[in-house]
Copies of this chain bind each other. A is one copy, B any other.
Amino acid sequence: MKINENFLKLESSYLFSTVAKKQKEYQEKHPDKEVIRLSIGDVTKPLVPAVISAMHKAVDEMADESTFRGYPPEHGYDFILNAIQKNDYANLGIDIKTDEIFLSDGAKSDCGNIGDIFSVDNKVAICDPVYPVYLDTNVMNGRTDIIYLPCTAENGFMPQIPKDEIPDVIYLCFPNNPTGVTVSRKQLKEWVDFALKNNSLILYDAAYKAFIVDDSPKSIYEIDGAKKCAIEFCSFSKTAGFTGVRCGYTVVPKELVFNGQSLNPFWARRQATKFNGVSYITQRAAEAVYSEDGKKQTEDVIKYYQRNAKVIYDTLTNEGFKCFGAVNSPYVWMQTPNGMSSWEFFDDLLDNCQVVGTPGSGFGKSGEGYLRLTAFGNYEKTVEAVERIKSVYGKDK
């Protein structure tokens, strides 16, 4: 039996696991200290009442033979596909059919599994820094021909269209994880036009779209022609606090054709064969996010997190730190002080302030010298965390 040796090329531990392990070790050594976690992008506010109520109702249905539901449709119940179509696409003037939407247990699974439907022999473009899943899953699949697109302070953290080589597959994520920057319609159109011209596929991660407050595109399909070149990943994790509930969806338009084959039936077949649908209770929970109450309640939670982003950004900027993101995004991308490396600052911050961030270098070498802070915490604790940072690294120090 031959193992998949590509796994040996991976870093042995997943970035967020390493961060969690370091935090745990610190906490065990210092049980009296209160550690504040602005690291992993995990939400902290409870599920909203509309969602809770829908889940209780669905649980009760599962208790009664006449309303019990067994295997869900592999790609999602009509009620949730219709809600997504109407609220996330038709309302933006985008024509997406329900059989182009695939419900799943989360955008991470879909971003990771999407590589199943395309060949190992593709040149892949990935931003640097980047959400590690894009890179690691390609390495696992044996795709080692990677074009890195550096995102630095010099280019406003916006990936530049490669000049010397043509990528077959391009991963883009806006609002961006980890840098927190958003793409404009004009910038996104350049990528779509490039993909159409070169027969490239864009994999567009829109997991953070709920944080957009200006007129930045919420979907790549707002750009003409995108249905012929892009797959879009969305998630309820950040929109509605579903990190512990697990639900997302992926859009694969039928017009997306490569080598004469529409990718839509490829993904449909992949999911029908290697996945068995999403919990009925979770699907009802997701549906409730689109109810009138659900929308209002989840918007309030987003606003709460946006206030956190603002207080992190404003406080640190006032103290002379160079920070990016925070608008249209739950992430603040903070330059480390005194030329420290990302992991040096991570350790220093944990030791001195008991604040956990995510080292920028963990997202790629262009992330070196940065730390990602997230706005998903409790407001008071977030204020406390930035006050601690101010007291140790602020301009008076």
A residues sitting closer than 8 Å to B (CB atoms) are 1-5, 7-8, 10, 12, 14, 17, 40, 42-47, 49, 52, 55-56, 59-60, 62-65, 68-72, 74, 105-106, 108-109, 112-113, 116-119, 121-122, 132-133, 136-137, 140, 168-169, 199-201, 241, 243-246, 258-259, 261, 263, 265-266, 269-270, 272-282, 378
Closest to A64 in B: B46
Q: How far is the CB of A240 from chain B (nearest CB, A)?
A: 11
CB contacts (< 8 Å) of A46 on chain B: these are 62-65, 68
Select which of B70, B108, B140, B272 is within 8 A of A270 by beta carbon: B140
Say yes or no: A7 contacts B244, CB within 8 Å: no
CB contacts (< 8 Å) of A201 on chain B: these are 1
Nearest first, the 10 A-B pairs at minimum CB distance are A112-B274, A2-B119, A42-B70, A70-B243, A46-B68, A1-B201, A69-B244, A52-B63, A1-B168, A108-B276
Number of copies: 2
Q: How far does the alpha carbon of A246 sit from the alpha carbon of B353 in the complex, in Å?
A: 41
Q: How far does the alpha carbon of A117 sit from the alpha carbon of B2 in the complex, in Å?
A: 9
CB contacts (< 8 Å) of A200 on chain B: these are 1
Say yes or no: A70 contacts B3, CB within 8 Å: no
CB contacts (< 8 Å) of A113 on chain B: these are 113, 274
CB contacts (< 8 Å) of A74 on chain B: these are 17
CB contacts (< 8 Å) of A246 on chain B: these are 72, 105, 276-279
Select which of B3, B45, B52, B169 is within 8 A of A266 by beta carbon: B3
Say yes or no: B105 contacts A105, CB within 8 Å: yes
Say yes or no: A279 contacts B276, CB within 8 Å: no
Q: How far does the alpha carbon of A7 sit from the alpha carbon of B55 in the complex, in Å?
A: 37
23 contacts between A and B (CB under 8 A): A1-B169, A1-B259, A2-B118, A2-B121, A4-B118, A4-B266, A14-B272, A43-B70, A46-B68, A52-B59, A52-B60, A55-B281, A56-B59, A105-B105, A105-B275, A105-B276, A108-B275, A109-B276, A137-B273, A140-B270, A243-B276, A244-B280, A246-B279
Select which of B63, B64, B108 is within 8 A of A274 by beta carbon: B108
Say yes or no: A4 contacts B258, CB within 8 Å: no
Say yes or no: B62 contacts A245, CB within 8 Å: yes
